[in-house]
Every structure is written in C-alpha cells, then in structure tokens.
C-alpha cells in the first residue's frame, strides 16, 4: 500500500507531503490545477523517464519520494533481496528519485543507489496506473494470460516442471547426437589407431626400460674386453684372489708368533672380503652389460616403434597405454551410441507427451475461466454505459516453437464496441472514456483474484455523468475493498464515494504554485457542491452534495 508521497520543486509544486490510507482516495480540483503533476511525480519515482523540465524554475533539482508498506510475500520483497536492497523487517519501502535541472537523475531504494530499470520493476509490482494513454497493465496482451490464470485459479507449476524435463531431455539428446556425429566422423581413424595400439600393446614405463637396456648393451660392447681382462686378474689359479688366499693360509700358521703377524692376517682377511665383493660386482656388471646383437636389435626396433607411434599421436610414450584405453572406449561408445540415442529419443517423446497433456489440461481450464471472465465483465458493461459493447477472452493454441513453461496458449482480451463490429484489442478500439470504463469493468471482474496493492485511475469518469458516474463510483468503492485506489475525478458521484478526499488547487501570486489539502467533512461537502454547480455554489448544490455523501 502507498503510504506517503513527498514532492520538492516539481514544476508548480514547491513542497508537498501527502499521507495515504487504505480504501478509496479521490483527488479533485479545477481543470489545470495540477492533478497531472502529481501523477507525473509519482511516475517519476516509479521509473518513468526523467525530464529536466520537471524541475521547478530557478531550482537546482527536483526530488520525489514515495513510501510503501508491503505485506509478507509481496513480489517486491524478492526483487529487493536479489538486488541487496532489502530494508529491516517491518520498515517501509522508500523510493527516492532526484532529477537535476542540468540533466541526469539518481534513484535510491531504501537510501541505497539503484538503477532506473529496477525502479520500473518495483513500480510494476507496487502500483497500477490506468489512464487514457497508459500502454501497460491491462492493455498489454503479454500480461493477459497471467491475469486469466489468476482469475481462474489455474496452477501452472506441473506444466512448468514437465516443460523443463522435456527441454532437458531434448538437450541431452542433442548433445548425444553431436558427440556421436563427431565420433562417426573419426571412426576410421579411431579403428585404425586402436588396432595399431592393440598390436603394439605398450606398457607403462616400457620406453624408459628399453632405452636403458639399449644404452647398457651398447656400453657392454665397448667394455667387454676390459671386463674380461679384470676378471682374469682376479679369477683363476694365478689370479689375485687365489694368491691372496694362499698368503692368508700360510700366514695363519705363524700369526700367533707375533702381534704384527696377527694384524697382517686380519688385514688379509679384509682384503679377501673386499676382493670377493669386487669379483661379485664385476660379474653383475658383466651380466648387465652383456652384449647380445640379436637382443639389441630387437630392443631397438621395439623402442623406435613406440617412439614413432607416440610422435604420430603427439603424446609422450608413457601416455600410449592411456591413449589405447581412450580409443577403445570411443569404439565402445560408437557401438553403444545408436542404442543410447534410441533410449534418449524415447525419453524425449515421453517428456513431450507428458508436457503436452499438462498444457492441454491448462488450455481446458483457460477456456473455462475465459467463459467465466467474459460473463463477469459483461455484467459490468451495461451500468457503465457500455451495453452495446462486447468483451471476449481469446485463448488460442500457439505453434509448438512458441510453447513455454506456462503452456501452449496465447491469451488476449478483445472488445467490440458496437453490434456487428469486429473484435480487436482494447487499446485499438476504445475511445479514452470507453477505455477507462472497460478497464474498470475488467478490474472489478478480476478484483477477487488480486493484482497490484495500489491502483490509480486517471479521469476514469471523463465524458460521463449521472447514473453512469454513480455506477463508476460504486464499482470503484467496491474495488477498494480489496486494494488501495487513488482516483483523479471530475465527477461528484465518484468523489462522494471516497474514504479520503484530496483537493488540488493552484494559487496565483508572484509565483504560481500548486498545493494539495486533505479535506475535512465540511470542506469536502463544499467541494462536491462546487463540482455539482460550477463557479457559484448554491444551497441546492450543497444539499445534493450532502445526499451524495450520505448515500455513499
């Protein structure tokens, strides 16, 4: 609910602070008093285009602030949270717009900077402004389906869930097809490479082992003669080890004859141990460096093949086993691809069928709700002097490419203003006064199903009077039971229905100014009498004003 409007230096308004309450608030005043300035100021705070011409002459800037009290669960709460602008629980929402005389503007939400785009989103959820030139709200066909669904109590959540499932199944199928197509393009290469690696059967670390074997055998070929000669020095009856053993045996017989002989024997024993270890190491080296021409040729051939295949596939030799597994997996995927596509195609068909059934059920509900809405609007037309007009809700099935989570229907409100005249969208047929009354009839029909918490009607009673004005007033009053209404009116019948009455007047002096006053009961009676009689207020007009107020 709109609770306050504060205006500083906007056109003819120097300073103005208004407080609003629930129910129906009416704004009256003589023509040209400045009622449109109030609506322009409110629109500015709700995201309308900033025009430096709105700044009062001689001032640097204009400022408009509005405050709202929002019930729990209002759509604006989520918008504020998403943009990091939520206030403290229980605190009002405050929107401020500043327009500079030299161009440019600023927007603030709860004293934090915000974009004008966000103001428009907030404004759409907070206030509906209905005027002769308004192209939003009920005149915008894009919102008609949601209005019909709300009126009919139609729950679209299951269709939304099934639509997402259908699209996800289609995406999975498309990805699988792309992958299979790419794999099919490479099939010949994959089959050849997989067969080649299968024959080669590379092992992890094999290239390093073969390279070491090859290097050792090449060394062995160069060192074989030296290793054999060293072996001869150590081994055999005339070798070093044999002579050391003979010396040790002979020394052992006399070692106890002197300490130094014992030490010499111990040294010989150590020399024998070291010489024996050297002999063993020499034998191991001879084995490791053993040169076998056939084996060397075989190792080199294997090594060169592994390296050649690795270069061809642009991988390290150690990565060949993993590549072989990858290629085998691709071949397996190719074989399984067709079966997988069959399953995914079946899943898409089932998801499509489930969504289509849910969307068809929504269509049935919408057609039924459309009939009820058409009847409800028709009941409101005659009292509003629109008895020759007809209203209908068009529900038509869209092409499959245009289906959405909300179903397969396009919904639009159409009217025919005269018998036999073709139906067409609201904004294209109705005149200004007719359009406002059509909107009122629709709003009354839709009232029990909700909408914005605050609605503003700008001169909805233009060009009508008497019984029609009374019917408009009665319907506005009824509509205000479920929403806050502000109505700019020239009709005393409508003004008498208000819960609060604001009087707008223009004062002329050195500077022309517009002011707004909340009228008490006596001044309200006088204002309605003025609306009834014109420039000179008569006693009969005052009496009639009293009767209107008593009947309201």
**Chain segment 11-50, per-residue pLDDT in tens:** 888 888 999 999 999 998 877 667 778 888 888 999 888 8
**Is residue 255 predicted with pLDDT exceeding 70?**
yes
DSSP at 99: E
**Is residue 352 predicted with pLDDT exceeding 50?**
yes
Instruction: Look at residue 468 and tell me if it is in a domain.
Output: no
Instruction: Look at residue 124 and tell me if it is in a domain.
Output: no
For the residues 379-405, what does the mean pLDDT come to? 91
User: In angstroms, how far is the first alpha carbon of the chain from the final one?
Assistant: 23
- Please state, in angstroms and rounded to a whole number, the distance separating the CA atoms of residues 386 and 463: 13
For residue 159, name the pLDDT band (cuts at 50, 70, 90).
very high
Q: How many CB atoms within 10 Å of residue 315?
A: 13
Q: Which residue has the higher pLDDT, 75 or 502?
A: 502
Q: Which residue has the higher pLDDT, 407 or 466?
A: 407
Domain extent, residue 217, equals 156-363
Q: Which residue has the higher pLDDT, 244 or 315?
A: 315
Q: How many CB atoms within 10 Å of residue 207?
A: 19
- Please state, in angstroms and rounded to a whole number, the distance separating the CA atoms of residues 235 and 250: 20
Q: Which residue has the higher pLDDT, 220 or 340?
A: 340
For the residues 364-376, what does the mean pLDDT come to? 96
Q: How many CB atoms within 10 Å of residue 261?
A: 14
For the residues 455-483, what does the mean pLDDT come to? 84
- Please state, in angstroms and rounded to a whole number, the distance separating the CA atoms of residues 409 and 154: 13
What pLDDT does 226 receive? 66
**Is residue 382 predicted with pLDDT exceeding 80?**
yes
Q: Which residue has the higher pLDDT, 520 or 432?
A: 520
Instruction: Look at residue 465 and tell me if it is in a domain.
Output: no
The number of angstroms, rounded, from the C-alpha of 256 to the middle of its chain's C-alpha atoms is 101
Instruction: Look at residue 5 and tell me if it is in a domain.
Output: no
CB contact set of 406 (below 8 Å; sequence gap of 6+): 145, 149, 156, 159, 160, 362
**Is residue 373 predicted with pLDDT exceeding 80?**
yes
Instruction: Look at residue 131 and tell me if it is in a domain.
Output: no
**Is residue 192 predicted with pLDDT exceeding 80?**
yes
Q: How many CB atoms within 10 Å of residue 414?
A: 18
Q: Which residue has the higher pLDDT, 319 or 245?
A: 319
What pLDDT does 302 receive? 85
**Is residue 355 predicted with pLDDT exceeding 90?**
yes
> With left for phi above 0 and alpha for psi between -120 and 50, is residue 451 left, alpha or beta?
left
- Please state, in angstroms and rounded to a whole number, the distance separating the CA atoms of residues 303 and 58: 92
Mean pLDDT, the chain, integer = 85
Instruction: Look at residue 10 and tell me if it is in a domain.
Output: no
**Is residue 209 predicted with pLDDT exceeding 90?**
no
Instruction: Look at residue 537 and tell me if it is in a domain.
Output: no
What pLDDT does 100 receive? 93
The model scores a pTM over 0.75: no
For residue 231, name the pLDDT band (cuts at 50, 70, 90).
low
**Is residue 242 predicted with pLDDT exceeding 50?**
yes
What pLDDT does 397 receive? 95
- Please state, in angstroms and rounded to a whole number, the distance separating the CA atoms of residues 180 and 174: 10
What pLDDT does 135 receive? 46
Cβ–Cβ < 8 Å for 130, 457? yes
The tally of CA atoms less than 13 A away on the side-chain side of residue 298 is: 5
In Å, how far are 6, 34, 504, 506 from 535, measured between CA atoms? 31, 18, 16, 15
- The count of structural domains within the chain is 1
Instruction: Look at residue 174 and tell me if it is in a domain.
Output: yes
- Please state, in angstroms and rounded to a whole number, the distance separating the CA atoms of residues 63 and 132: 26
For the residues 80-107, what does the mean pLDDT come to? 89
The number of angstroms, rounded, from the C-alpha of 160 to the middle of its chain's C-alpha atoms is 15
**Chain segment 531-550, per-residue pLDDT in tens:** 888 768 888 889 998 999 98
For residue 467, name the pLDDT band (cuts at 50, 70, 90).
confident
């Amino acid at each position: 609910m709109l609770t306050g409007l504060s205006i500083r230096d906007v056109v003819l308004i120097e300073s103005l602070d208004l407080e609003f309450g629930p129910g129906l608030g009416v704004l009256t005043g003589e023509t040209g008093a400045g009622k449109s300035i109030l609506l322009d100021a409110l629109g500015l705070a709700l995201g309308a285009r900033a025009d430096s011409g709105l700044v009062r002459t001689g001032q640097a800037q204009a400022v408009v602030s509005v405050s709202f009290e929002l019930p729990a669960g209002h759509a604006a709460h989520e918008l504020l949270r998403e943009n990091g602008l939520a206030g403290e629980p229980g605190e009002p929402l405050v929107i401020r717009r500043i327009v500079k005389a030299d161009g440019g503007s600023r927007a603030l939400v709860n004293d934090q900077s915000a974009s004008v785009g966000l103001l428009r989103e907030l404004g759409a959820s907070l206030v509906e402004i209905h005027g002769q030139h308004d192209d939003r709200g009920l005149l915008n066909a894009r919102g008609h389906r949601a209005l019909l669904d709300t009126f009919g109590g139609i729950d679209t959540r299951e269709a939304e869930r099934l639509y997402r499932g259908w699209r996800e199944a289609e995406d999975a199928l498309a990805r699988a097809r792309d992958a299979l197509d790419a794999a099919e393009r490479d099939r010949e290469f994959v089959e050849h490479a997989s067969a080649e690696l299968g024959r080669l059967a590379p092992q992890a670390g094999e290239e390093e082992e073969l390279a070491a074997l090859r290097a050792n055998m090449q060394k062995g070929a160069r060192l074989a003669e030296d290793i054999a000669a060293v072996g001869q020095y150590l081994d055999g009856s005339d070798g070093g080890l044999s002579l050391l053993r003979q010396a040790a045996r002979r020394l052992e017989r006399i070692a106890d004859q002197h300490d130094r002989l014992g030490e010499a024997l111990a040294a010989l024993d150590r020399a024998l141990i070291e010489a024996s270890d050297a002999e063993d190491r020499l034998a191991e080296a001879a084995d490791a460096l053993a040169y076998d021409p056939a084996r060397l040729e075989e190792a080199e051939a294997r090594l060169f093949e592994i390296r050649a295949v690795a270069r061809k596939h642009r991988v390290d030799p150690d990565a060949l086993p993993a590549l072989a597994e990858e290629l085998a997996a691709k071949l397996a995927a190719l074989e399984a691809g067709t079966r997988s596509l069959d399953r995914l195609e079946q899943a898409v068909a089932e998801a499509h069928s489930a969504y289509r059934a849910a969307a068809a059920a929504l269509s049935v509900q919408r057609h039924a709700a459309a009939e009820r809405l058409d009847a409800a609007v028709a009941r409101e037309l005659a009292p509003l002097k629109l008895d020759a007009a007809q209203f209908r809700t068009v529900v038509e099935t869209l092409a499959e490419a245009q289906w959405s989570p909300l179903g397969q229907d396009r919904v639009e409100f159409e009217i025919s203003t005269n018998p036999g005249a073709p139906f067409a969208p609201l904004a294209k047929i109705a005149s200004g006064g007719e359009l406002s009354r059509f909107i009122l009839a629709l709003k009354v029909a839709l009232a029990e199903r909700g909408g914005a918490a605050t609605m503003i009607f700008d001169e909805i009673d233009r060009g009508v009077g008497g019984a029609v004005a009374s019917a408009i007033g009665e319907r506005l009053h009824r509509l205000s039971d479920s929403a806050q209404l502000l109505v700019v009116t020239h009709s005393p019948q409508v003004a008498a229905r208000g819960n609060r009455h604001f009087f707008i007047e223009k004062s002329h002096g050195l500077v022309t100014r517009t002011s707004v006053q909340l009228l008490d009961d006596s001044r309200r009676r006088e204002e309605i009498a003025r609306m009834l009689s014109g420039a000179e207020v008569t006693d009969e007009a005052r009496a009639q004003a009293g009767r209107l107020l008593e009947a309201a």
